[in-house]
Amino acid sequence: MQVDIIYLRFEKIVPKERGDIGVNVIEQKYTLQKQIGSGLSCVVYLAEHKKLHQTCAIKCISKRNGNGNTFLRETEFLRNLRSIYVPALYDYEEDTDYWYLIEEYIAGYSLKDLKQNQRFISQDKLMESAIRICEAVKWLHDRKPYPLLYLDLKPEHIIVSGDGLKLLDFGSAVYLKGNQMSGRVMGTVGFASPEQLQGSTIDLRSDIYSIGAVLYWLMTGEMVGDEGVSKKVSGYSKEWNAIISRCVEQDKNRRYASAGELLKDLQRMQKINNKGQFGKSLKIAVIGSQRRVGVTHFSIGLAMSSLQAGVPCLYEERNESGAIQELFSYSKKAREKEGIYYFPKFEAIPRYGNAVCTESYGECMFVYDYGVFREELVFEYEEADCVIAVTGGKEWERKQTKDLIERYRKRRNMYYVLRTGSKADFRIIAKELAIPAAFYMPDYGQPFSLGNREKHFYHKLLKQIHYDLGRRIEHEKDWNLFHYHRHNRNR
């Protein structure tokens, strides 16, 4: 599902009417669309600039209950921190009752939402999140002339948007104007370091503790105890557990000295894990910009072409169409064994729901057919190694295509298959909609009968995916099944 990132900034939502705040100053420039969050001393609105037609989030902070110094400090931080890791500050205003922060509005989800929607998060997925968090914290710590300590790292403040990451709420952040500083700084129990909560001296290692505490919570759903982490968390490697344990040491002298040092360990571990990566399962999520655009047709063709090339592949139906069951009932040569339907040219699992775990079927390529894009399944799409969007090129289909492109504009390993009548139309539409990583899908009647054009199409797409993911293709000689004479390539 798509989540408003400013909404995630607050743990408690208290409904209020627009008349509860002094909005006259803001309404001169902005149209307030809806309330998307609130806290003890503030309320947040989704808004649009009346002249620029730019969407933004407006944080309204009560002067009666809020802290003026905190507001000014956060405004100063956002004004100076121009980065991919921080929401941009567009403007700020005030009247007799409120301060207003006008910030960048970004669609995404928090790590808190990720954990609530996924009971178990794989080590590979956590590794990606950990590296992004470290990169963001390292960027803050590398500020000149003084490092900036974030000091309020917690799952709801970390937002995944596209392929990037944003840190929210700099109300507790401080510049470190020496090697360390004293004094109690606001933080969240369970994620803030012991020295921060006790009012002792804090330094760069205080944020390191919070990184480890967030990752531990994502692993277990529990806070780090007063004694740190003493037991290995099952489902994760010994090396990974050791990294987390070192981050959350009660004695800060035993933690990583900097985010840069932690980042090097994580990247080294990721590099080791990625060696010979093709031997591991590759998960591809396939979605459609609208109904009846050909997602199942494409997905079956993808699975079949992979098997023909000697690459083990399993198609899984993750939509409600019931197409696989229907195909099975009509096919005289198909057979079923242990829940898998074996068709003459591909293997498939019909819609079973969450009761079946396909990863238990061993190392292969999984093609997940989700059908039309659905907001509530965004978390599942993100778990895949890559996402392929099947989109329409007809005039009445282009709005949905454009909306989906904008939704995933910043995501890496996102590919678009555009179904148009001709290559000439494809080039025009791809340029008009500024489609990144676009592929022309030739029309063909049956996915079970692939000609040279279709084989070349799937071959080109899969080679690009494997290249982008840094995977090694072990069956190189088998991939040559896709090659054919050059004069056929322009058919």
Confidence of residue 114 (pLDDT cuts 50, 70, 90): confident
Q: Which two three-digit tokens encode residue 458?
A: 């799937």
Res. 480 pLDDT band, cuts 50 70 90: very low
Tell me which H or E stretch contains 208.
Answer: helix 204-220
The strands making up 386-392's β-sheet, listed across from edge to edge, are 335-337, 340-342, 347-349, 313-317, 365-372, 282-288, 386-392, 414-419, 438-440
pLDDT at 489 over 70: no
What percent of the chain is modeled with pLDDT above 70?
Answer: 84
Which tens digits make up the pLDDT trace of 192-246? 999 998 888 999 999 999 999 999 999 999 999 877 787 888 888 889 999 999 9
- The pLDDT confidence band at residue 60, using thresholds 50, 70 and 90, is confident
Residue 56 has pLDDT above 80, yes or no: yes
DSSP letter string, 413-453? SEEEEEE-SSHHHHHHHHHHTT-TTEEE----S-TTS--HH
pTM of the shown model: 0.62
Residues making up the chain, counted from first to last: 491
- 354 or 424: which carries more pLDDT confidence? 424
Give the span between the Cα atoms of 274 and 280, in whole angstroms. Answer: 9
DSSP string, 367-424: EEEEEE--GGGHHHHHHSSEEEEEEE-SGGGHHHHHHHHHHTTT-SSEEEEEE-SSHH
Q: What gap in Å lies between CA 215 and CA 206, rounded to an integer?
A: 15
Note the pLDDT of residue 241. Answer: 93
Of 118, 27, 82, 134, the C-alpha closest to 379 is 118
**Mean pLDDT for the chain overall:** 81
Residue among 6, 355, 373 nearest 159 (CA): 6
| φ and ψ of 90, to 5 deg | -85, -40
Q: ∠205-209-211 over CA atoms, to 5°?
A: 110
Residue 357 and residue 313 in contact, taking contact as beta carbons nearer than 8 Å: no
Confidence of residue 5 (pLDDT cuts 50, 70, 90): very low
pLDDT number for residue 11? 30
405-464 tens-digit pLDDT = 888 877 778 999 998 878 888 888 888 888 888 898 887 767 677 888 888 889 889 888
| Separation CA 318–CA 383 (nearest Å) | 14
Q: Listing from the earlier edge strand, what are the strands of the sheet with 30-38?
A: 30-38, 42-49, 55-62, 98-104, 89-94
Which DSSP state fits 253?
Answer: G
Query: Collapsing DSSP states into helix, strand and coil, what is residue 99?
Result: strand
Residue/partner pairs of 473-478 with CB below 8 Å, 24 or more apart: 473/278, 474/278, 474/279, 475/309, 475/310, 475/311, 478/309, 478/310, 478/311
Structure tokens at 415: 């590919």
Separation of alpha carbons 431 and 436, rounded Å: 9
The pair of three-digit structure tokens given for residue 491, joined into one six-digit string = 């058919």
Which of the residue ranges 98-112, 130-144, 184-198, 464-478 has the most confident prediction, judged by mean pLDDT?
Answer: 130-144
